[in-house]
Amino acid sequence: MLSQILHRIKEGAALIWYEQEEECLLCSNLAKEIICQSCRDLYFRPELNRCNTCGKLIGDNKIRCSDCQEGKGPKCLTRATALGHYSGAWKDLIQNVKFRGQPYLLAYLRGYVDDWVIKNFPPPDVIIPVPMHHSRIAQRGFNQADVLASILSGQLGIEYQDALYRNRATTAQTSLGRHERLNNVQGAFSLKKDVDIKGRIIWLVDDVVTTGTTLDECAKALREHGASDIYGICLAAGIEEILEK
């Protein structure tokens, strides 16, 4: 009798445990959080630092990546950071969002991504996405940076503003080298009319950062209109070359 009761309790406990488990968004294994520990270790690389200026993943003994140390990095950003390394299943997820019409995948990161940002940066006055050119939005139907910014805004109760405007369609930054990237986006962004950001702290949101050129061009437009601090937030970044080997 007693053993039967114990068995029942055990079964019940197993059920409760079972309900708490969910599938990891990246590897589909059962996990306690939306991204399991092993995927976090694999793609978020918590043991590595982020370059204080451009957000790139760097060695744990460094503060800035070599490019930023040599003064080639962003000038107008206060700081930038990235959640993970743009590789493997994490890269696949971001590409599924952008290129394979699944923006709703970002919604699964609700509660996780805002938790991470608020631990890294002081709370802002306003959250602003990196804008996309209207011709590209017309094709894709959404701007992934916009989706992410809205999620952060909704979760943290901080004002969201689609404040920036992309003046021209640019070539995808991924297909270009460092020097070309700068030329590609130079002067591509401006502030929309009737937007006041004077003296405000801003979180500037994008999906992927590589050299930080795009973020910096946006930050430039914001600075020109009196923004105080501008923090760049991205889901993924590159990793310093020396580390990759």
Binding site for another protein (CB under 8 A): 10, 14, 17-18, 21, 27-28, 96, 99-104, 134, 137-142
Q: Side chain identity at 27, as an amino acid letter?
A: C
Q: Tell me the closest approach of the beta carbon of residue 10 to another protein, in angstroms.
A: 7
Contact between 142 and 216 (Cβ < 8 Å): no
Of 96 and 190, CB closest to another protein: 96
Alpha helices in 125-200 (DSSP H): 134-140, 144-156, 178-185
**Min separation Cβ 179 and another protein, Å:** 27
C-beta closer to another protein: residue 58 or 235: 235
Q: How far is the CB of 245 from another protein (least distance, A)?
A: 22
Nearer to another protein, 71 or 141 (CB): 141
CB of 143 to another protein, least distance (A): 9
| 3-class SS of residue 208 | strand
Amino acid at site 146: D
For the record, the structure tokens of 26 come out as 């990246």
- Candidates 27, 47, 48, 49; CA nearest to 38 is 27
Residue 11 or 60: the one with the smaller Cβ distance to another protein is: 11
| Shortest distance (Å) from residue 15 CB to another protein | 8
Which among 232, 206, 235 is positioned nearest to 43, based on CA atoms? 235
Residue 6 beta carbon to another protein: minimum distance, rounded to whole angstroms: 12
In this structure, what token pair is assigned to residue 223? 């600075």
Contact indicator for 159, 202 with CB cutoff of 8 Å: no
Pick 65 or 106: Cβ nearer another protein: 106
Q: Which of 187, 227, 34, 60 is nearest to 116 (CA)?
A: 34
Judged by beta carbon, residue 14 or residue 242, the one nearer another protein is 14
